[in-house]
Structure 1
Amino acid sequence: MFSGILANQAPPKQTATATIATLCDRLAHATLLEDRRAAVLGLRSFARDYKESVASGGLRWLIVALDKDRDDVDTVKVVLETLLLLFANEHQNSDSPDDIALWLADEFTQKQANINLLIDLLDQTDFYDRLYALRILSAILKNRPERTRECIYTAPLGLERLVATLDDRREIIRNEGVQLLIALTDDHAEIQKLVAYNGAFDGVFNIIDLEGGITGGFLVQDCLRLLTNLLAFNVSNQSYFQEARCDTKLVQLLGNDKTDDMLLEATSKNLLQLLNLCKVFVTFVGSAAEAHQKYLWDCGLTPRVLALAFSPKSTIDVRAEALCTAADLIRGNHALQEKFALMQVDASTLPGFSVPDVPNEGPNRTAFVIEALLNMALLDINIASFNVRMAAVQCIEAYVHNNPETRLHFIDRAVKGFTSGEDETANIFNSLIELDSNSQSDPYKTWFSGAIFQTLIFENREAQDIAMNLTSGDAESGEEVVTAIQNFSSNLLEALQYGLNSRISLAFLMILCVWLNENPEAVNDFLMENSTLESLLALVNHINNEDAVLLQGVCTFLIGIVFEFSTKESPVPRVDLHSRILGRLKKDQYFLKLHKLRQHPAIRDFEEAGNRPHRKGLPEVYFTGDFIKFFKDNYSKNYYHFKERLDGSLSPLPGIISRSLDRDPGDQSGHHGNGEPHMVSEEMLQSVTAQLEIKEDEYSKLQAAHTALEHQLSQEQERFRSFKESSSSTVQKIKEVAAREIATAQDNAQAIQEESEANILAEREAARSEIQEVTLRMDAALRESRAATDKVTKETSVIIAKLQEHSAQLEKELGSLREGNSAQSQQLNAQAQQIDNMKSAILKLESQLNEQLDTAKKTQSRHESERDVERKARDVERKAAEKRLSDLKREMESRLQETARIAEDSAKKAATAEAEILKVKEAAKKEKAEMEMEREGEREKAAIAQAEADDLMLVMADLEENVKKYKARLKKLGEDVTDDEGEGEEEEEEEEEEED
């Protein structure tokens, strides 16, 4: 009955938005810590599903609570959990930023105090405070990196506290600290310096040791990434790293020979990151890089990297990266290049290696590193080893980089080894001079050989001359002697005619372009075979494979170079060469093929394509970096120059390849072997004369300006001398005035000193007289105090005698009181006897009452069955009434839920468009009227329930009347029923009914 009444009077169900607003208001104005904590707990329950409402209404007060209640661990934990839920992105794998997270990051970074508050939490020892603070800082940094970096950088002890998390004993906090520092130090030099100088290097290496070194998990990889961020492009950190002797720790990581699980994926990734870290020391070009190269070699890092590259335990990716790292560590350093060539490495990973039959011969076979690199690049035919082969070529390029003597020695030994046939190692000319059946299955053997040869002769005329001595065929035996250029040209035509892999053709084309550039002797050698140029011109327009654009473009580029550097001594005259080119290759086609080559992704996106993963089949690598640079540097200049050469319509532009100006195809002026013109035309002479006159005019103007400047300089010098003389006289006067002032000051000081000494003597005399007076006064006071002491002693003796008399009198009174107490004790004994008698009487009364109670119980047991029947009837009626009330309550709750759902739907519809506001209001009014009608119906039902309850009350009144009748009947039967017993039974029945 009462539950139904309360259900009717309950307020309508509150929405989530209103509840969040109430919780935010309570959090803002609550004065008790428990109330604020309860409000935050409520907001946390809504933070996942109602982020916008909680963030807009509660972020400010959450930050305030975090500051106000920072000493309460439980409250701080709940606040931080709520903030993390607000920052959480539902799509964790999505790279798109969350609008709510962006807004939260803006709110946090607008005030420096907010970031300081989170950083202060890192000083707490509580686990959740430190962990959640790091995660929130990471979320803010992810959404607003620049502003967050500045706030952390300017926060007091901000970076120091972040670095301190690396020393935390709890692993998860160390992990979060490493992740935050990685994001924080990315591309910010000042933060990198502060993080390094606050002990980050030691903290990172300690974590690596705890994780098991290079064989550790992903945390080791993150630590190495952090070190890379701190050292990359930061010379000061690199110097500090060396001063702290951290380089020895790098060597220890690379020299960990207990790694039998080197083939594990985690270990391979850690090694790749470690090798990438080693390369940051030699990123810069110049003396700093050379110093770092020497330092890393001396500490044993470079030899260890090279050993890792040839270790049989290393994976293919690790070997390739180790070779690239070794290349960077020796590139351009002559002393290290010489030491590098003398090193021996493990040959067990080389192609064709076989374990020796004799076990005592040694565990491993070794080879010199250059021989091993050539063997690896040219003899390994496995497609999966492409990265290792490419890295071996890069290592050879680094070995000869910026070292002409090494280049000449390398190519001379290769030429002699091929000519004699006694070279036991892999030779680059084996696949370049003679195309075998393996060239089609392994086109990169020829391509890598061409890449190495191109590196040796690139912009090195002496190396090109040595290669010119390479010939095939024995003239004494009647065989035709064929030069290397003619051999390469023949192989090129063969590869184009028979449709061999395009990489083979491109290898020969790159070599010929680099070799013939600015080398008329090489051009003449190329034109010695008249059919070579004709075949090349015939094939340019008939190449129809998937790499036709590349082949046609590079062939066209080669034809342009041949025409540009041909001379009057060339086997094909320039006029005939010009007509042949235009006869087979029209000028529009010529320029179009060059333009398509420049726009091809293999040329245009060469840097990006080198970092892409290779697809199935052969890698999409067609050119070397040197050739790409060579082509791009000459493309635009050659374009206009060649166009002017062919049709004479445009003015020539000066370029690297073009050596003569305003020269038509009929001009017979050519080039010497060094590429310089040996004849000067009349037009060129006039041009030079005009330029000389211009230079003379400029020189006269400069000379006049020089004279004017000398005159001005003399005037300034005169002014300076006059100023110097005037200033010297002024200084002399100042010195004299200063001397007089100093003398006056000394006299004054002496007078003041004499006066102060006289004052001190007078003060001493006065002090002596005062001390004498004080001494006399003290003696008089001492005599007076002694007289007063004697007087007090006499008075004290008198008082003691009086007290003794008073104590004797008190003892007499105490004796009389003891006699009175004995009489009172007798009276108390008599009273105790009376109390015992009363207790016995009470026991008798209790026994009589128990007997009467037993008789009442017997009487009650006789009529128990009748009362049980009546009670069961009342229970059945009560349960039926409760069932009706519960049904009414459920029906009312369902209708209230239905009305709440309708109200929410109407609110959503109202927010869609302003044009439907009136309709929605009308619908809301109608629904409200219906709700009122339903409430009236529910009130009527409640009235019915009230009427039923009144009927139950009437039934209870009838039962009470029946009880009174039963009492009267018992009295008539002769049973003793007291009024108290009846009242007790009535009270028990009333209590049972209330409990029901």
Structure 2
Amino acid sequence: MEYLKTGLKTVLGAPEPGHQPSGTETVERLVDRVNNSTLLEDRRDACRALKAMSRKYRIEVGAQGMETLKQVLELDRADNETINYALDTLNNIMSPSQFEEEEDNPQVPMNIGEQFTEIFIKNPHNIQLVLDLLDEYDFRVRLSAVQLLISLLTNRSKDIQEIILVKPMGVSKMMDLLGDNREVIRNEALLLLIKLTKGNANIQKIVAFENAFDRLFEIVSTEGYSDGGIIVEDCLLLMLNLLKNNSSNINFFKEGSYIQRMLPMFNTSEENEDLGWSPQKVSNVHCMLQIVRTMVSPSNSAQIISSCQKIMKNVGLLDALCNILMASGVPADILTETINTVGEIVRGDTTNQEFLGNIMAPSNPPRPAIVVLLMSMVNEKQPFSLRCAVLYCFECYLYHNEMSQAALVQTLLPSSSDVSSLTSGQLLCGGLFSSDMLSNWFSTVALMHALIDNSVQKEQLLRVLLATNIGSSPVSLLHQCTLLLQQSTKLQSKVALLMLLSQWMSYCPAAVSAFLKVPGGVGYLVNQTCSNEHDENEYLLQGLSAFLLAICIHFNDDSVENYSKESLKQLLIKRIGMETYTAKVTEVSKHELYNRAAKHPQMKVRNVSEVLIDYEFCRLFKVLEIQLPRDKAMNEMSGVCWEPHISFHTLVFQMGGVLIQSLTTNQENDACNEVAERASPEEGATLERYKNLIRQQDARLQELVAQVDALIQQNQSLQGALNDILSANSQLKDENTLLKAQVSASTIVPAPPPTVLEDPRIMQYEERIQQLNEETSRLSEQLKSTQDHYSKSMEEFEKLKKDQDDLLELFADQDVKLSEYKMRLISLGQTIDEDVQAKEPLTEK
């Protein structure tokens, strides 16, 4: 510290006796020295002193010295030491974190670094100055430039990304840093590129085509793959940024044979297992699993998913991941993520699904890996996240695979094979009737996935019989599920059973008949639908019950005498009412957990209470929500249609025994007169009224057109004025911020600081800003009123235009009808008035 004081005395000269300069005064003199010194050594010393003060006096240095420091970067490029001091000072000014020296200073805002960054990047040339310094090979200059860019990206990432994107060679300069043989710079460059590529597809593509994957895999290999340090994790995070939601880069990665280069990351040899899993290795493998999932994510196109799945199978990646599943000593979070990853690699790919189905676990006795996974799913002692992962993997195993679906159902049917071995069907039945609510939900949903788009297995599952009590007759699985639904008191169990029954009975009349024969089944659904409970979850239960009731009507083959379509329809009308019924059904899609589940096949849940709705059920509900209203039996209920209401703004009336929709435009006035001559007195009076209506609408239409034109001009004028004021306001705020910083920082502790408003310059700025804010508010309000008026005028304009179009159609239809009647009278030998005969048909005009 004494050395620093001595250095400052050397730069600034000795202070006057009895006067100790404040921090603001010291900064001001240092900035002046940088601006006015002719000797490079003096400027360098002053920059070094500013750097030393920039942590404690950040506001003062930023407010007074930012412009000077930018000039140093531009004019003193020949002196690396001075440039380094300037870069470090700017980095301190714009640091996103707070320094220890500032913790006791309440005048320093927490986001002061972001405020200075906003001022710095208003001139994009400043970013170019920093980018140009990346070309300097000097260690300190290059490192300081990288660190400054990291701070800028941390504070204003999107703004910096857009600036760098248009800078020539901007991204290339950063990519070149990965080849720097000085590890410190290379490592900082990785952090810089991670921030630069986040959420910007264009930059991601540029980085990928700058050979990023080759360079990153070289670093990962050098560092020791999954056993490497945090640098491996940084490389993988950058890869993840480049691939996530970027189909172009995924194709590039796939076609560039990079998938097989991931294999060493999943090496699980016995030698490595003995070393254990360090926390860093867990992080590294977790990142690599995320990369694999990014390429086979269900949100990608089917073509990308399929090709990536095939490559992963062919190069042995799926095999390596299955080895991790069966290995001992694997941490729970890695095991969970590996299960999810394996699930997505096999999802929808028959070859990969078959491969997973044939894997045997090294247990005693040996069991299929699928069975071992299901044992974990129904075991309430296993971690919640692991159980969710197993369910997702099993769903992926069944997805679009009739063979695996049939194999599961077959394990539930009577068989002559060895019954001593545990099967997947037995595990699911055990979970279905378990006292553990989560096992109950998981097993029910897993069983439901064996029936999706598979009518054969729906009928096969009806053959499954269960022995409930010793000595009593066995009952069908559907019968038992219906009884469980009526007896259960747990929300999750009820929802799961309703989803299973909905999937089972949809498109399967035999299952509907079996359900209708279960005592109390229909009554339970009706009572649930009629329930008046006002809890969000109760609304969901009521909606699901109403939905299942609709399935009973729609897919009913009338084989159960007491519950034919017609009788169920009448029961619904009398007990529930169509208005109440449709309101209940719509409650399902309003539920928060329904909307969350509908977004992705994998459940995104944080705790057990959020396990409620399954993705595949949401798909079924969306399809049937459209299909069921078109059912004739549903639409005939009490004359009420379930289909979405149509907004009728046209007038419908009877004329000449024909139902005609009223609409036309005023351009056919003559046609109206001709139709009026042919019409009866009553029809003529009606037509005269519509002619008057058309004239009024036409006048109103012209008035609205003129209003709209005027409002558009006014809107453009107000928008321009508002933009000018906002720009001036922003500039004044920046200047005001700097002035406040200077004034507040000029106070000498411990004297109480004067208020900022005591400075006349700031008072002027504050008054001007207040005026501008008031003017901005006034113009914004005026603009809003104008836009509202404009919107209303346009709505009325469109309505009148539509009405007139429809009236034209009305008179055209009427003329055609009158012509038909005339021709019919002539054919019957009737005499037609010559004036009428002389008229040409309206449709020929």
Structure 1 pair 124/48, CA: closer, same or farther in 2 (3 Å)? Answer: same
Equivalent residue of 1:648, what SS? Answer: helix
Q: Which has the higher contact order (CA 8 A, sep 6+)?
A: 2
Equivalent residue of 1:31, what SS? Answer: coil
| Residue range with higher mean Cα deviation, 509-518 or 264-273 | 264-273
Aligned pair 1:522/2:511, yes or no?
A: yes
What's the counterpart of residue 685 of structure 2? none
Matches within 5 A, 1:561-576: 561-571=551-561, 572-576=563-567
What's the counterpart of residue 260 of structure 2? 248
Instruction: Work out which of the residue numbers 427, 452, 457 in structure 2 matches 1:458.
Output: 452
AA aligned opposite 2:279: E
AA aligned opposite 2:545: C
Structure 1 pair 315/914, CA: closer, same or farther in 2 (3 Å)? Answer: closer
Distance 1:46 1:316 in 2: 49
Shift in Å at residue 202 of structure 1?
Answer: 3.5
Aligned pair 1:98/2:111, yes or no?
A: yes
What's the counterpart of residue 34 of structure 1? 41
Structure 1 pair 510/430, CA: closer, same or farther in 2 (3 Å)? Answer: same
Shift in Å at residue 277 of structure 1?
Answer: 0.6
Matches within 5 A, 1:462-611: 462-472=456-466, 480=473, 482-495=475-488, 499=489, 501-538=490-527, 541=531, 547-571=537-561, 572-582=563-573, 584-585=575-576, 587=578, 589-606=580-597
Aligned pair 1:268/2:282, yes or no?
A: yes
Structure 1 pair 522/33, CA: closer, same or farther in 2 (3 Å)? Answer: same
Equivalent residue of 1:905, what SS? Answer: coil
Distance 1:326 1:434 in 2: 23
Shift in Å at residue 272 of structure 1?
Answer: 1.5
AA aligned opposite 1:428: G
Distance 2:192 2:411 in 1: 54
Contact kept, 8 Å, 2:482 with 2:518, in 1: the verdict is no
Structure 1 pair 492/294, CA: closer, same or farther in 2 (3 Å)? Answer: same
Shift in Å at residue 422 of structure 1?
Answer: 1.6
Shift in Å at residue 276 of structure 1?
Answer: 0.7
Equivalent residue of 1:457, what SS? Answer: coil
Instruction: Work out which of the residue numbers 331, 349, 357 in structure 1 matches 2:347.
Output: 331
Contact kept, 8 Å, 1:432 with 1:446, in 2: the verdict is no
Contact kept, 8 Å, 1:251 with 1:304, in 2: the verdict is yes
Contact kept, 8 Å, 1:260 with 1:313, in 2: the verdict is no
Distance 1:464 1:908 in 2: 79
Aligned pair 1:60/2:54, yes or no?
A: no
Contact kept, 8 Å, 2:528 with 2:545, in 1: the verdict is no
Structure 1 pair 646/50, CA: closer, same or farther in 2 (3 Å)? Answer: farther
Shift in Å at residue 640 of structure 1?
Answer: 9.5
Structure 1 pair 486/902, CA: closer, same or farther in 2 (3 Å)? Answer: closer
Structure 1 pair 505/36, CA: closer, same or farther in 2 (3 Å)? Answer: same
Distance 1:163 1:396 in 2: 42
AA aligned opposite 2:551: I
| Residue range with higher mean Cα deviation, 13-22 or 900-909 | 900-909
Aligned pair 1:47/2:54, yes or no?
A: yes
AA aligned opposite 2:233: Q
Contact kept, 8 Å, 1:553 with 1:596, in 2: the verdict is yes
Runs of 5+ consecutive residues of structure 1 not aligned to the other structure: 1-6, 348-353, 355-364, 656-689, 691-896, 918-996
Structure 1 pair 642/226, CA: closer, same or farther in 2 (3 Å)? Answer: farther
Distance 1:8 1:52 in 2: 23
Distance 2:287 2:58 in 1: 39
What's the counterpart of residue 401 of structure 1? 399
What's the counterpart of residue 428 of structure 1? 425
What's the counterpart of residue 95 of structure 2? 88
Shift in Å at residue 456 of structure 1?
Answer: 1.5
Distance 1:435 1:515 in 2: 15
Equivalent residue of 2:342, what SS? Answer: helix
Contact kept, 8 Å, 1:520 with 1:565, in 2: the verdict is yes
Contact kept, 8 Å, 2:254 with 2:308, in 1: the verdict is no
Distance 1:546 1:38 in 2: 69
Contact kept, 8 Å, 1:275 with 1:325, in 2: the verdict is yes
What's the counterpart of residue 758 of structure 1? none
Structure 1 pair 570/898, CA: closer, same or farther in 2 (3 Å)? Answer: closer
Aligned pair 1:195/2:193, yes or no?
A: no
AA aligned opposite 2:606: H
Distance 2:474 2:599 in 1: 44
Contact kept, 8 Å, 2:205 with 2:249, in 1: the verdict is yes
Distance 1:456 1:485 in 2: 14
What's the counterpart of residue 148 of structure 2? 136
Structure 1 pair 546/315, CA: closer, same or farther in 2 (3 Å)? Answer: farther
Aligned pair 1:162/2:178, yes or no?
A: no
Matches within 5 A, 1:882-901: none
Equivalent residue of 1:398, what SS? Answer: helix
Distance 1:376 1:898 in 2: 67
Distance 1:275 1:145 in 2: 27
Contact kept, 8 Å, 1:557 with 1:594, in 2: the verdict is yes
Q: Which has the higher helix share?
A: 1
Contact kept, 8 Å, 2:536 with 2:591, in 1: the verdict is no
AA aligned opposite 1:465: E
Contact kept, 8 Å, 1:602 with 1:622, in 2: the verdict is yes
Instruction: Work out which of the residue numbers 178, 184, 189 in structure 2 matches 1:172.
Output: 184
Structure 1 pair 608/259, CA: closer, same or farther in 2 (3 Å)? Answer: farther
Structure 1 pair 407/639, CA: closer, same or farther in 2 (3 Å)? Answer: same
Shift in Å at residue 53 of structure 1?
Answer: 4.0
What's the counterpart of residue 937 of structure 1? none
Matches within 5 A, 1:368-407: 368-378=368-378, 380-384=379-383, 386-407=384-405
AA aligned opposite 2:323: A
Structure 1 pair 913/160, CA: closer, same or farther in 2 (3 Å)? Answer: closer
Shift in Å at residue 461 of structure 1?
Answer: 1.2
Shift in Å at residue 302 of structure 1?
Answer: 1.0
AA aligned opposite 2:591: H
TM-score in terms of structure 1 length: 0.57
Equivalent residue of 1:566, what SS? Answer: coil
AA aligned opposite 2:453: E
AA aligned opposite 1:98: N
What's the counterpart of residue 411 of structure 1? 409
Shift in Å at residue 137 of structure 1?
Answer: 0.8
- Larger Rg computed on CA atoms: 1
Equivalent residue of 2:210, what SS? Answer: helix
| Cα deviation 1:550-579 (Å, max 9, x = unaligned) | 433322322232233334333323443334
Contact kept, 8 Å, 2:459 with 2:508, in 1: the verdict is no
Distance 1:631 1:64 in 2: 65
Contact kept, 8 Å, 2:554 with 2:628, in 1: the verdict is no
| Residue range with higher mean Cα deviation, 82-91 or 594-603 | 594-603
Distance 2:283 2:199 in 1: 23
Instruction: Work out which of the residue numbers 317, 322, 327 in structure 2 matches 1:311.
Output: 327
Contact kept, 8 Å, 1:375 with 1:425, in 2: the verdict is no
Contact kept, 8 Å, 1:428 with 1:450, in 2: the verdict is no
Distance 2:62 2:115 in 1: 12
Shift in Å at residue 421 of structure 1?
Answer: 7.7
| Cα deviation 1:864-892 (Å, max 9, x = unaligned) | xxxxxxxxxxxxxxxxxxxxxxxxxxxxx
Distance 2:45 2:471 in 1: 106
Contact kept, 8 Å, 1:192 with 1:230, in 2: the verdict is yes
Distance 2:16 2:24 in 1: 23
What is the root-mean-square deviation in Å for CA atoms of aligned residues? 4.1
Equivalent residue of 2:334, what SS? Answer: helix
Aligned pair 1:300/2:300, yes or no?
A: no
Matches within 5 A, 1:662-741: none
Shift in Å at residue 79 of structure 1?
Answer: 0.9
